[in-house]
Amino acid sequence: MTRRPSDIHEGLALEIEHCGPDVVLRPSGTVDLATLDLFMDALHRLVAEVDDTAVVDLAGTGFLACCAVRPLAALRLRLETTRRSLVLTNAGPVVRRVLLACDLREVLTGESSLSAASAVVAHGAVVAAP
């Protein structure tokens, strides 16, 4: 298991951790237009480093702007073309609300995830990019 923290920029810190064949990205802070480039750079590193499942742990993400949803959807599709997958986990109420507002209800696993503290992108779900 290795960890590589990013620079803190504009209220966003990013950490990438290797857990066997899986790689976990932990954004902490706000993902919005001001931090989108930094977030997208981390997503590109995630693609380059993951062998199996890319996990984006949103527990420390206080806000996820709609502009960050399209890169997440594109990442998922890119990973699936090489038989890898994307999992979003630990999304708080504000982040879940953004995912739902962007018409991504179908990628949340079951209605129970809407009231739970986390939301997961299912491996076989269709992502409707905004």
Give 16-51 pLDDT, tens digit per residue.
Answer: 999 888 999 999 999 999 999 999 999 999 999 999
Q: Which residue has the tokens 């989108």?
A: 36
Of 16 and 76, the one with more pLDDT: 16
Enumerate the β-bridge partners of residue 19: 22
Average pLDDT over residues 99-119: 46
CA–CA distances in Å: residue 93 to residues 69, 97, 114: 16, 6, 9
Which of 25-29, 31-35, 58-62, 73-77 shows the lowest mean pLDDT across its residues? Answer: 73-77
Q: How far apart are CA 102 and CA 120, in angstroms?
A: 15
Higher pLDDT, 122 or 105: 105
- pLDDT tier at 1 (50, 70, 90 boundaries)? very low
Beta strand 22-31 with 53-57 is parallel
Q: The pTM is what?
A: 0.74
